């Protein structure tokens, strides 16, 4: 009776331990994918933000120089 129970329990424990290690690997893989996705989207967002700021500053300079040129042109007339 004990030997029969041992034959049933031992494979169950083995499968359970293999399942746990597989779960840990899936969890680690998910963590790696999640963190990589987070880092990539953060870098894209920061790059977009910096590009918009640069464009905004350039546009501001152009508008300022145009208004100064118009002001100087009307003062000279």
pLDDT average per 10 residues of sequence, the chain (77 residues) = 63 71 82 95 95 92 83 65
Distance CA 62, CA 31 (A): 46
Q: What pLDDT, on a 0 to 100 scale, did the predictor assign at position 4?
A: 61
| Three-state DSSP state, 1 | coil
Q: What pLDDT, on a 0 to 100 scale, did the predictor assign at position 48?
A: 95
Q: What pLDDT, on a 0 to 100 scale, did the predictor assign at position 25?
A: 81
What are 70's two structure tokens? Answer: 């118009």
Q: Which single residue is written with the structure tokens 């546009």?
A: 59
Q: Which residues of 5-17 are buried (b: 16+ CB within 10 A; e: fewer)?
A: eeeeeeeeeeeee
Q: What pLDDT, on a 0 to 100 scale, did the predictor assign at position 49?
A: 95
Distance CA 72, CA 31 (A): 61
Q: What pLDDT, on a 0 to 100 scale, did the predictor assign at position 17?
A: 72
Q: What pLDDT, on a 0 to 100 scale, did the predictor assign at position 18?
A: 72
């Amino acid at each position: 009776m004990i030997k029969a129970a041992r034959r049933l329990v031992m494979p169950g424990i083995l499968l359970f331990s293999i399942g746990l290690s597989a779960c840990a690997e899936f969890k680690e893989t998910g963590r790696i994918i999640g963190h990589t996705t987070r880092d990539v989207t953060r870098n894209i967002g920061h790059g977009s933000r910096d590009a918009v700021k640069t464009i905004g500053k350039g546009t501001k300079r152009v508008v300022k120089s145009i208004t100064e040129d118009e002001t100087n042109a009307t003062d000279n007339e």
